[in-house]
Amino acid sequence: MPARAGRARVSGDTVFRGATAVLPGGPVLADVVVGGGVVTAVAAPGTLSADEVVDVRDRILLPGAVDVHVHFRQPGFEHKEDFRTGSAAAACGGVTTVCDMPNTHPPVSSAERFRAKRDLVEGTSHVDHGLWAGGTDLPELAAMAGLGAVGVKVYLNRSHRADDPYADELSMPDAGTLSTLFRACASWALPVAVHVADHDQEVRLRARLRAASTTDARLVSRSYRGDGVLDALARVLAAAAGTGCRVHIAHASLAPVAALDRIDAARRAGVRVTAECGPPALLEDDLDRLGVLGVPFAFPAGDAEAYWSALADGRVDLVATDHAPHTRQDKAAGLDDVWAAPPGYPGVETVLPLMVDAVLAGRLSWSRLAELTSAAPARLCGLGGKGAITPGADADLVVVDPAATTTVDAARLHSRAGWSPFDGRRLAGAVTATYLRGRAIARDGELLPGPPAGRFLTPEGRARP
């Protein structure tokens, strides 16, 4: 960064003055100038000027978070969420880009359905958004790649309940089909995100645990982390080896902790594999209070510490929420039988506050936070211009007050679900403002007036159809 000199005027609409900006090279005190929706300059504080000055002294300036694993439920499950409400939650939590999964109704398994979903949500999202493709039909997947899919989502699991949004057409029938799909996606330069599971072993484990109790939500969470997941992971990594495909392990925390080292070993052996998890911020003891509202991402204390360590040391590459909103009525199915409730909870509005809290607790550095929540997810999905504060990048910025505190209040959150397992949680730090391409879209947890400005994103180098 240049040394301080006389204040220079640069081309730009706004200068964010005096923040600790978390840049690709690390946090520095800086002025960040924005013009035309992009970052135009970064320099020592007090050296740049523009038409408008935003005083962000004593604040942290982060790149907008990129959540590559959300379920905004549209089309087909709008009673749970849609892009308008889900993206409002994202904006208010400091997430400026989301990538939505294909397990909707109907599932996004054809070019026609991909195009229909893209057009359906156009003009309704408050943040930028990409779409994952699903299914196993290679010609349809190739067509969806041409329409701008950010990747292909593969499901090795199956439904356990009638209301599970996992249509058979999204499920992988056998290892041979998986290997063929990996080779095809490598040729299209698309990542494949995998929900790793061994359905038959999971069914048997669930039956044993259900026989032990129908009221202990801990057992439901544990049912997703049986040894069958490790067997399935081994098959996925073996199928990926030698294909050149970028394989991404979705919600790695839905596997035994041993999976972390197995993924890392495959990476060191040359497999192009990455892994995600959400903040491991719920413990099994919390389920005494939450019940099924905390399923499935609640952990024994030792496992939670292992996931935090993996986020810090790089064995987990990025943070993604698996934002999975359900209504209270949906979850109430588990009041008498915890196995009857759908898994998942809303997380897109609380993910960055939870991660900021982790930084201020000493678990992570600001640079590692920016890598996990912004740079790495943007790289995974090929979203050029996202994930970093650097000249030429989109001016997606988040202002954090490290001296403030946040108390999660479910009544103020914006997901249609209307609840959060983190309700009442007191966190260090506060997300105070979110900017999308230089325009303020949320402040102090509230959406600002104005029409939704989110754009449909395609991987870098692929034109919007």
- Which tokens hold the place of 299? 């952990």
Burial class (CB in 10 A: 0-12, 13-18, 19+), 44: middle
Mean pLDDT over each residue of the chain, to the nearest integer: 95
Q: How far apart are CA 461 and CA 465, in angstroms?
A: 12
Q: How far apart are CA 67 and CA 61, in angstroms?
A: 18
Give tens-digit pLDDT for 169-199. Answer: 899 999 999 999 999 999 999 999 999 999 9
Residue 193 backbone dihedrals phi, psi, to 5 degrees: -90, 130
Give tens-digit pLDDT for 71-126. Answer: 999 999 999 999 999 999 999 999 999 999 999 999 999 999 999 999 999 999 99
What per-residue confidence (pLDDT) applies to 48? 87
> Residues of the chain with pLDDT > 70: what percent?
95
Least confident of 41-55, 152-166, 292-306, 324-338: 152-166
Q: How far apart are CA 52 and CA 13, in angstroms?
A: 6
Least confident of 154-168, 195-209, 225-239, 421-435: 154-168
What per-residue confidence (pLDDT) applies to 165? 63
CA dihedral 276, 368, 20, 401 (to 10 degrees): 50
Are the C-beta atoms of 441 and 452 separated by less than 8 Å?
no
Q: Strand 318-319 relative to strand 273-277: parallel, antiparallel, unpaired?
A: parallel
pLDDT for 262 beyond 60: yes
Residue 168 backbone dihedrals phi, psi, to 5 degrees: -60, -30
Burial class (CB in 10 A: 0-12, 13-18, 19+), 440: middle
What per-residue confidence (pLDDT) applies to 463? 39
Are the C-beta atoms of 242 and 269 separated by less than 8 Å?
no
446 three-state secondary structure:
strand
State which amino acid sits at residue 91.
A
Give tens-digit pLDDT for 388-435. Answer: 999 999 999 999 999 999 999 999 999 999 999 999 999 999 999 999
Q: How confident is the model at residue 168 (pLDDT cuts 50, 70, 90)?
A: confident
pLDDT for 227 beyond 50: yes
Q: How far apart are CA 35 and CA 243, in angstroms?
A: 42
Q: How confident is the model at residue 5 (pLDDT cuts 50, 70, 90)?
A: very low
Q: What structural domains does the chain harbor?
A: 8-62+393-447 (2.30.40.10), 65-380 (3.20.20.140)
Q: How far apart are CA 452 and CA 261, in angstroms?
A: 42
pLDDT for 251 beyond 60: yes
pLDDT for 7 beyond 80: no
pLDDT for 163 beyond 80: no
pTM of the model: 0.96
What per-residue confidence (pLDDT) applies to 2? 40
Higher pLDDT: 2 or 446? It is: 446
Q: Average pLDDT of 193-206?
A: 96
Give tens-digit pLDDT for 324-372. Answer: 999 999 999 999 999 999 999 999 999 999 999 999 999 999 999 999 9
What per-residue confidence (pLDDT) applies to 49? 85
pLDDT for 6 beyond 70: no
CA dihedral 390, 391, 397, 399 (to 10 degrees): 70
